[in-house]
Structure 1
Amino acid sequence: MGTVVVTDEQIREAVPMADAVAAVRQAFADLAAGAFEIPVRAALGGGAFLSMPVHHRPSGTAAVKTLSLNFDRTPAITGTVVWSDVSRTGGLAADAGALTALRTGAASGVATDLLADPGASRLALIGAGGQAADQVRAVHAVRPLSRLTVTARTPARAEALVASLRAELPGVESATAPDPAAAVAGADVVCCATNTAEPLFAAADLPERVHVNAIGSYRPGMRELPDDLLAAATVVVDDEEAVLEESGEILHALGSGAIDRGDLVELGTALDGGLPERAPRTVFKSVGVAVQDWALARLLAERFLP
């Protein structure tokens, strides 16, 4: 048996967001239990090229994602995820762009389900690039939305995203905002999906109770969140080793003394009951972990491999 190639359209048809959230939730639980062999990803060319391998010991399966990133092109992410099973002679390959957007959204869904208030329904989205739509879909999967507000550096892109999502979100009030401060006012959940080098808003711009997902920055020179937000919030990260290597927000806040390493809780640990008393504001900081790619690649393998 050779390698089965799965297209973007097949990925979307085969893996609804609710299934993606469930698979990624289990993967983070397995990560906390020590089921994965997972090195920190290799970043080459200043982060323009990434390679992310992972091995799931109990199942004898592995996934490797290789991709390139260029935010001046569309799509910004191109590459391949390859899934292998030690017991099979063939494997599966999937487009990295579609799978990355889906699994990144799913992680925000897991964190939002864990950390956001049960009645949260108003989402502010900052950014309108390739990751943005799946952030909305994931939050909506765990906290049905009543309102969506989108802002982006290019207003036309925010307007186009809102228009494209309206058919998926019947009954949800949707609009654009002129800037991040206006977008987050009154939000229950905020999703940041940008490649900015400076914080998108001040902590004072946020409501007193809010959950924030920050998934856009993935290198030390990028930073979406201000130190004073992290200092006062419950901070959950996808993987401590990864964020200490790659997250500009976390590294800056540690360097300024706003937080210390003891303030960071890994998502898998939090899912297993290891979350301290919740502050009124919560933050999920993700730089992306290969177990997310493995989780969705495994779903695809179950659907497409004999």
Structure 2
Amino acid sequence: MTSDIRDQDPVTSQRPTRRRPGATATPVPGRYAGVYADYETAVTDPLLRLDDDTRRNYLSRVRQYLAWLDATNLDGDPLTDPAARDWAARDYRAHLLTVLKRKPTTVNAHLTAIDDFNRRLGLGPATAKRTKLPNLAPRALDQRAQVRFLREAELSSPRDRAMGYTAFYAGTRIHELVAFDLDDLRISARKGVLIVRMGKSGKYREVNLHAKLRAELETWLKERATLRGTDESKALFLNVRGRRLSARAATDVLNGIADRAGIEVGRDEDFTTHVLRHTLGTKLAREGVDVVTIAELLGHSLETARRYTLPTDADRQAAIDKLTVDE
């Protein structure tokens, strides 16, 4: 019998996520074990409000960087000398691009993690230029993947279904999703609103509910009311013990829906929980919604919201496919 918590949780779906072979974590070189342990302690501080995906990716990328440092002959100590720090970051950028053949977005993400690491060492970020990216809209699910995600969500438990639809139709960040209290949800016969009281940078916003999302949240509320041990919790989404669901558990729920829908999950794959947020922004932009409204719904700046009006990679491919062929 599987030990997956989802199979033991009466609140959640009984359909387990497919188990995929995972890559082995890069070990931390012995001489960097202490500095890495200090960094791990720093980024797990709950006051930072880092979501679990960001924290895990920062730690993974810093481990890879330290392993590279350990195997590379460098002048000076990049963990204490600012000049050596800059040379190391530039050389590592070249290594990622030319040796490991990483995508520019991935390279830039590694540099961001290394900058965070260097800040916590007291060095500050390295002067290493980011790789220029194509002028594209943020990564979003295409129409077929959207349908697959929603259909798989439909097969999930009331709680997981409500969470999947909330991420898809309201574009909530993971930390926002798990922070919702019962009184943050206001539903009437014909409309509803979700109140995000503490979004990114402390922003407050109210998100109007799609009719489908409203119905699924109502279904979950009825289910929630029948569960034992929930009387004392004000959280909207609960774990099996009747307590507020953690960001890690919520991430697992959404990743599980995507995985069972056949959508590749991972930072460099088709799906992360944040891709659902980008999918909503892109859909709204493609349907002619103005950037001011998109910014208000998603809690973005206008500059960030305008990115959704840029072409996606699929848009560029569709444009090429329309060219005349002489056969």
TM-score by length of 1: 0.27
**Greater helix proportion:** 2
TM-score by length of 2: 0.26
Q: Which has the larger radius of gyration?
A: 2
